[in-house]
């Protein structure tokens, strides 16, 4: 029997999904299976011989129940159904099969400008089209104008210049800047110039170029110009968003050091600080959550979400939860880096014996007595980080010294001056 499931793909998968559904990835009509993925990577061809440059895949978690024959409604982060995948193959987490769009896509900025190839082909039919794919500002428009003129003379009946179609490859944080660049260029180009936003996630340069060619083709281009990628110079560290994320056992000293760090930063006054105090988070943002693995993960993701928003706007967020699971900490790191922020993981590595000796809140005694279930370090795991940017064992150390170690790291990294 066919079962129906739901899933929210990652941002990259959703961008690919949108291109599959719109026809911009023609002739692909669905996510690739393992054999096709292998064929594409090894030979640039699907198993049926069709040339295709890049894997376009969807991965579900191992415990997701979808099986071949099932249908999965793929949803955007806001919960709106984007497409239905009919699963034809599953190998590990990778699921393959055709996707069918469910109408207008609304998530992400500039949804109305992400017009599908068929609409643009119909609108521009009858004249040659020069497609320009771009990921940054177009510095030199004269080459585009000259190419459109030339194309009109050679490919068009009337000799009129080709219509210029600016395909703004907008994905992630830098997407809006690409769209602004396309709109600014349009104002300086012939009146009939079109701007279409295409959510093509960046890949390695050679593959990216081939995909651009495919997309330009799908949009009816007679010729394609790939505008050079912009040189991105990241702002100096003291202007970039930063998340200082403490992790460690209960009683290891996370909150004490975090508070000391906050005060030291406020004293300097050079950066604004958001301190996501663990207790405040548990009382407000994560009210009602337990200490099960699932709830702890949710707690950490919520903290990560808020911290990433702070970092997106160039702020500095300090977080100090236990965060016992490595994969969830890595997710937060990825969330922060995705928005252009830096992430500093501080492992407060005070050993269990010392934390238990301190037992400030009497919780270890209760946990030992079996009164608190799933207590980290006693009856629930703590996965030691192997990706800590700084490790501090506070045993026999005074608080100011511990705070000083973090301040030193921030100074060394250029985050504070």
Ligand X SMILES: Nc1ncnc2c1ncn2[C@@H]1O[C@H](COP(=O)(O)OS(=O)(=O)O)[C@@H](OP(=O)(O)O)[C@H]1O
Which residues carry a binding-site annotation?
Answer: 248-255
Token pair belonging to 363: 């919780």
Query: Contact between 296 and ligand ADP (CB under 6 A)?
Result: no
Nearer residue to ligand X within complex by CB, 351 or 413 = 351
128-136, 283-291, 328-336, 392-400 -> range binding ligand ADP (CB under 6 A): 392-400
**Which residue from 394, 407, 410, 415 is in contact with ligand ADP, where contact means CB under 6 A?**
394
253 binds, among ligand ADP, ligand X, none (CB under 5 to 8 A by kind): ligand ADP
Query: Which residues of the shown chain bind ligand X in the complex (CB under 6 A)?
Result: 250-251, 255, 278, 282, 291, 296, 299-300, 321-324, 361, 363, 372, 374-376, 380
- To ligand ADP, the closest distance from the beta carbon of 82 in angstroms equals 41
**Which residue from 399, 408, 411, 417 is in contact with ligand ADP, where contact means CB under 6 A?**
399
Nearer residue to ligand X within complex by CB, 10 or 292 = 292
394 binds, among ligand ADP, ligand X, none (CB under 5 to 8 A by kind): ligand ADP
56 binds, among ligand ADP, ligand X, none (CB under 5 to 8 A by kind): none
Looking only at the bridges linking them, the beta strands covering 316-319 and 81-86 are unpaired
CA 266, chain centre distance (Å): 31
Nearest to 228 by CA among 145, 146, 132: 132
Nearest to 291 by CA among 323, 318, 255: 323
Q: How far apart are CA 306 and CA 250, in angstroms?
A: 22
347 SS3 class: strand
19-27, 48-56, 160-168, 244-252 -> range binding ligand ADP (CB under 6 A): 244-252
Nearer residue to ligand ADP within complex by CB, 134 or 348 = 348
Q: How far apart are CA 337 and CA 329, in angstroms?
A: 12
Query: Contact between 167 and ligand ADP (CB under 6 A)?
Result: no
Question: Could you please report the per-residue DSSP string of 124-180?
Answer: HTTS-EEEEEESS-----HHHHHHHHHHHHHH-SS-PPPEEEEEEE--GGGHHHHHH
Nearer residue to ligand X within complex by CB, 101 or 324 = 324
Distances (CA, A) of 196 to 93, 117, 142: 33, 9, 20
- To ligand ADP, the closest distance from the beta carbon of 399 in angstroms equals 4
C-alpha dihedral sign at 406, 409, 414, 417: positive
Measured between its terminal Cα atoms, the distance across the chain in Å is 63
Taking residues 346 to 385 in sequence order and writing x for each that binds ligand ADP by CB under 6 A, - otherwise, the string is --x---------x-x-------------------------
- To ligand X, the closest distance from the beta carbon of 323 in angstroms equals 5
Q: How far apart are CA 344 and CA 337, in angstroms?
A: 11
What would you report as the CA-atom Rg of the chain, rounded to the nearest whole angstrom?
A: 26
Known binding-site residue numbers for ATP: 248-255
Binding site for ligand ADP (CB under 6 A): 248, 250-257, 320, 348, 358, 360, 394, 397-399, 402
């Amino acid at each position: 029997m066919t079962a129906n499931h739901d899933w929210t793909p990652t941002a990259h998968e959703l961008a690919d999904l949108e291109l599959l559904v719109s026809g911009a990835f023609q002739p692909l009509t669905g996510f690739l299976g393992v054999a096709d993925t292998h064929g594409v990577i090894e030979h640039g061809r699907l198993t049926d011989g069709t040339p295709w440059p890049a894997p376009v895949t969807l991965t579900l978690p191992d415990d997701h129940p979808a099986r071949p024959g099932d249908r999965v409604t793929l949803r955007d982060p806001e919960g709106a159904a984007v497409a239905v995948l009919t699963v034809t193959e599953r190998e590990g987490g990778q699921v393959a099969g055709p996707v069918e769009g469910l109408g207008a896509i609304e998530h992400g900025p500039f949804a109305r400008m992400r017009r599908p190839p068929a609409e643009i082909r119909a609108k521009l039919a009858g004249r040659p089209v020069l497609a320009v794919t771009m990921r940054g500002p177009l510095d030199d428009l004269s080459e585009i104008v000259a190419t459109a003129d030339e194309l009109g003379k050679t490919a068009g009946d009337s000799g009129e210049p080709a219509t210029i179609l600016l395909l703004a490859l907008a994905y992630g944080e830098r997407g809006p800047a690409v769209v602004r660049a396309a709109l600014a260029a349009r104002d300086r180009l012939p009146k009939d110039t079109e701007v279409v936003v295409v959510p093509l996630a960046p890949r390695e340069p050679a593959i990216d170029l081939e995909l651009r060619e495919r997309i330009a083709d799908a949009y009816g281009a007679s010729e394609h110009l790939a505008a050079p990628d912009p040189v991105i110079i990241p702002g100096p560290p003291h202007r970039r968003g930063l998340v200082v994320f403490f992790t460690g056992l209960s009683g290891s000293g996370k909150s004490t050091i975090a508070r000391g760090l906050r005060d030291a930063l406020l004293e300097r006054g050079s950066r604004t600080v958001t301190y996501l105090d663990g207790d405040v988070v548990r009382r407000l943002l994560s009210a009602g959550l337990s200490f099960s693995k699932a709830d702890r993960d949710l707690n950490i993701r919520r903290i990560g979400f808020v911290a990433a928003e702070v970092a997106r706007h160039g702020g500095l967020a300090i977080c100090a939860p236990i965060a016992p699971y490595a994969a969830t900490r890595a997710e937060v790191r990825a969330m922060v880096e995705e928005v252009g922020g830096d992430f500093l993981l501080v492992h407060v590595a005070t050993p269990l014996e010392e934390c238990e000796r301190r037992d400030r809140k009497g919780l270890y005694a209760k946990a030992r007595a079996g009164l608190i279930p799933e207590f980290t370090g006693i009856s629930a795991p703590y996965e030691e980080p192997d990706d800590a940017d700084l490790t501090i064992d506070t045993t026999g150390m005074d608080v100011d010294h511990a705070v000083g170690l973090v301040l030193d790291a921030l100074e060394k990294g250029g985050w504070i001056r």
